[in-house]
Amino acid sequence: MGPWLEHDAVLEGIAAWPTPADLKRAGKARIDARLKKHGCRRHATWAGQIVSALEHQTVVVAGTDAAATVLPHLARQLIARRAQRADVAAQVEALVQAHPLYQVLTSMPGIRGPGRRRPCWPRPWARPPGTGAQLASYAGLAPVTRRCGSSIRGEHVCHGGNKRLKRAMFPSAFASLRSDPVSRAYYQRKRDQGKRHNQAVLALAHRRILTLHAMIRDGALYDPQPATKLPAAA
């Protein structure tokens, strides 16, 4: 039942019947009805699996009676905490949607709108840093040249910068590969140049933060260029 604990319907069942004996007395029909009442779409399947597991159970776990006292309280507390979390999330969502840059930010592929998981930005800003390069440096996405004396040993990604923004831009860039032909073309170009997957995604994240800076600066929505008109690879 472990993975099912994410569903409030299962927690309601635990609160009502906290022990295997309680579940057996309740029976499949009542378990099914409770799961259905609290919004479980697979109520019949889950009820059947619970009853089947009970029929195959042969070991009596020590402390079951004590658990019968504790589990209902824990289940109710968890249900309440989830309701509170959903309420706070709804309020935060409303604040985010009210921000003047909301439509600009979410127009970029990989940065999703309400009801879906999306990167957590450190904070919405009224105006970005002076240049895209400064924003990339702030995020720790600007490539740094490694030197030894007068020789250049290549470039590597900076390990500093705003880690929250950097962690937001990387999965955002990766997610854009599924929906944005421009991102896919740029990523593939970097791969063809011999970069590993993570290096190519970081390069894409750097390119996208430059684009994002221009979007915020101009208040403009994302306008992808055709893949055939991409600028030369950096």
pLDDT value of residue 100: 86
CA 81 from centre of chain:
20
Characterize 49-72 residue by residue with b for buried, 16 or more Cβ atoms within 10 angstroms of its Cβ, and e for exposed: ebbeeeeeeeeeeeeeeeeeeebb
Q: Output 124 or 78, whichever has higher pLDDT.
A: 78
Q: Which amino acid is at 141?
A: L
pLDDT beyond 60 at 122: no
In this prediction, residue 52 has a pLDDT band, given cuts at 50, 70 and 90, of very high
Give the burial string for 167-202 (b: 16+ CB within 10 Å, else e): ebbbebbbbbbeebebbeebbebbeeeeeeeebbbb
The per-residue pLDDT of the chain, averaged, comes to 83
pLDDT attached to residue 30: 96
The yes-or-no verdict on residue 58 having pLDDT over 90 is no
Residue 147 pLDDT exceeds 80: no
Percent of the chain scored above 90 by pLDDT?
A: 49
46-54 long-range contacts, CB within 8 A, separation 24+: 46/4, 46/10, 50/1, 50/13, 50/23, 51/23, 51/27, 53/1, 54/20, 54/23, 54/24
Q: Quote the pTM value.
A: 0.59
Q: What's the whole-number mean pLDDT along residues 28-39?
A: 95
Three-state secondary structure string covering the chain:
CHHHHHCHHHHHHHHHCCCHHHHHHHHHHHHHHHHHHCCCCCHHHHHHHHHHHHHHCCCCCCCHHHHHHHHHHHHHHHHHHHHHHHHHHHHHHHHHHHCCCHHHHHCCCCCCCCCCCCCCCCCCCCCCCCCHHHHHHHHCCCEEEEEECCEEEEEEECCCCCHHHHHHHHHHHHHHCCCCHHHHHHHHHHHHCCCCHHHHHHHHHHHHHHHHHHHHHHCCCCCCCCHHHCCCCC
Angle at 51 between CA 45 and CA 55, to 5 degrees: 140
**What count of Cα atoms within 13 Å lies in the side-chain half-sphere of residue 55?**
8
